[in-house]
Amino acid sequence: MSTLLIEGGQRLSGSVEVEGNKNAALPLLAACLLTTEECVLTNVPRISDVEVMARLLLDLGAEVEGIGSTTLRVRCAEVVKDEPDAALVGRLRGSVLLIGPLLARRGRARLAPPGGDFPARRTIATHLEALAAMGVREIDGEGHALEAADGLQPASIYLYEASVTGTETALLAAAAAPGTSEIRHAACEPHVAELCGFLQQLGVGITGAGTSTIRIEGGGKLHGASHQLWGDYIDAGSWAVVAAVTGGEIEIAGARAEDIEVVAAVLRRMDVVCAMDGDLLRVEQSRLKAAGRITSGLWPGFPSDLVSLVTVLATQAEGRTLVHDWLYELRLFALEQLSGMSADLFLCDPHRIIVTGPRRLRGRQLDSRDLRSGMALIAAALAADGQSRLTSLETVERGYGRLVERLQGLGAKVAKLA
């Protein structure tokens, strides 16, 4: 378990580049199991979550080249078992995305409880309901044991919750179900649309990508494909906050303007000076003001993944901001550590927090309890007076590749301690 040592009070400047979207890379890798032919993914983020998923594919019988690089080549002529390695599954919530391809290739799937952030609070009930509509039934076994005795069947599915991974699970299964399936109340996030585009390249007929109603013509023979991942807008938004909270100036390259729009809209409400030019987001030194209210939402609402970071930003803004994350509760609990840094916070309930600023933050020992709040606490430490230590760094590195290297490239005084 590593610790990140951070000397705060440095104004960061320079340029940083984001790689592909973590939340797209995982379902795209799972989709590679649907075909026996080679698939090539480029601009893959070099993060630990992707490495775990790649090793899960290896465990299932796939050939995977390029682990640890931005180009992965995957070929799975044969899926050799229906139960992925439980230890790897326990490290990655995205392992749930393997269920559909396993049911398609083996007729069965046995999955240990997926790990990741707050696994006990994040169920896969939406995934299981969608699969049940396609003829999948639960069988005896530990964890999640599923069987499609008569093969996956096309279905008309209404998702009770517009879950991203629930939608992706339904898409991956429907791709192998012979006939027309329809998913209503589907998630509309860019990474869901990106998965739809990749499935189309494999040979699946899909209409409605990026909308709440997706129709799938599945069951045909699928072939290989190549795809360059779209840039990670959550990564880009995180660096924009790092720039603004330290009073710095940073250019962030690699994310699509249409994805950054939802982030930039909130930053501008806080008087962050930022502009998009093609795939380049420029953030300039800004005098921050409170936004009044920031509420997370389903796409194209403000992403819950950035709630922790804008909460830190609000500590440096003039006035009072109510941050409301109705999707998740434990992100805000993790941010209680900001109070120990001298932030003025009032936790209304598990979903709402009032932040009054600006406040000079003080460095301290920090605990990265989840991926996104971990990055937010790093941003707070960069803005704080004095020294902070954040443990464990590995939690944050699950979603932010080459984190220490990129921070140092912007002038941050940070060091990774074993």
Q: Catalytic amino acids?
A: 117
Contact 323, 314 (CB under 8 A): yes
CA 318/CA 357 separation, integer angstroms: 5
Single out the residue of 368, 360, 355, 367 nearest to residue 347, CA to CA: 355
Single out the residue of 96, 81, 93 nearest to residue 131, CA to CA: 96
Tokens of 401: 């590749």
H/E run at residue 287: none
Contact 307, 320 (CB under 8 A): no
CA 132/CA 254 separation, integer angstroms: 39
Would you call the peptide bond into 163 cis, given omega within 30 degrees of 0 as the criterion? no
In single-letter form, the type of residue at position 162 comes to: A
Neighbours of 286 (CB within 10 A): 21
Single out the residue of 330, 164, 321, 302 nearest to residue 233, CA to CA: 302
**Neighbouring-strand partners of residue 385:** 362
CA 40/CA 88 separation, integer angstroms: 23
**Neighbouring-strand partners of residue 72:** 41
**Neighbouring-strand partners of residue 367:** 391
Buried b (16+ CB within 10 A) or exposed e, 197-226: bbbeebbbebebbbebebbbbbbeebebbe
CA 251/CA 263 separation, integer angstroms: 15
CA 67/CA 351 separation, integer angstroms: 38
Place of tokens 């970071």: 309
Tokens of 391: 């443990």
Tokens of 73: 């080549």
Single out the residue of 231, 238, 232 nearest to residue 375, CA to CA: 238
Would you call the peptide bond into 358 cis, given omega within 30 degrees of 0 as the criterion? yes
Tell me the H-state helices in 336-410.
371-383, 393-397, 403-409
